[in-house]
Structure 1
Amino acid sequence: MELSPELLRKLESLAKIRLSPEEEALLLADLGRILEFVDALPQGEDLEEEAATGRLREDEPLPSLPQGEALKLAPEAEEGFFRVPKVLE
């Protein structure tokens, strides 16, 4: 996609903003860098291939934190539960 002053004016119209000539120049430069970054991202096929190679780790169940230990970390606890501020009236 080519960035042009016409495209920038269309974007200004859609966003309902007015830019000064200096702001337009800065925005065109920023948009150009953003589009270069997006073009450098891997495409969908690359992501599927990466997932198929097993780079994701397997889920391994681990023991839970004992209730007493978890409650020690809470700001407030009552009768074995976390005590939280009331959110509904």
Structure 2
Amino acid sequence: MELSSELLRKLEALAKLRLSPEEEALLLEDLRRILDFVDTLPQVEVEEGDEALGRLREDEERPSLPQALALSVAPDQEEGFFRVPPVLE
């Protein structure tokens, strides 16, 4: 993707920024480097079983925090549950 000064000005307007010409030049260069880096990502070779695939560790059963301890630091609780303010009216 080619990043032009015109596109940068549109982004400035959307973000409600006011940049000096020097700041625009620095931001434009930074954004170009970021986009160049992102363009290289599909070229990275990943081997089967590699951590780069985004796989998470296997689930392991472990003891959880005791309910009484968790509720002991709650600002408000009721009948063994956290009590929170309503989010919908």
Question: TM-score under structure 2 normalisation?
Answer: 0.54
Q: 2:71 touches 2:81 (CA, 8 Å); kept in 1? A: yes
Aligned-residue identity in percent? 65
The gaps in structure 1 that reach 5 residues or longer are none
Per-residue deviation, 1:35 = 2.7
The gaps in structure 2 that reach 5 residues or longer are 14-18
Per-residue deviation, 1:71 = 0.9
Q: 2:74 touches 2:82 (CA, 8 Å); kept in 1? A: yes
1:63 aligns with 63
Distance 2:87 2:69 in 1: 26
1:32 aligns with 32
Bigger relative contact order (CA 8 A; separation at least 6): 2
Q: Show CA shifts across 1:51-78 (max 9, x none).
A: 499x742110112222211111211112
Structure having the larger proportion of residues in helix: 1
Larger radius of gyration: 1
Corresponding letter in the other structure for 1:8: S
Distance 1:83 1:34, change over 3 A: same
Distance 1:78 1:56 in 2: 35
What is the Cα-based RMSD across aligned positions, in Å? Answer: 3.9
Per-residue deviation, 1:13 = 7.5
1:8 aligns with 5
Distance 1:38 1:66 in 2: 44
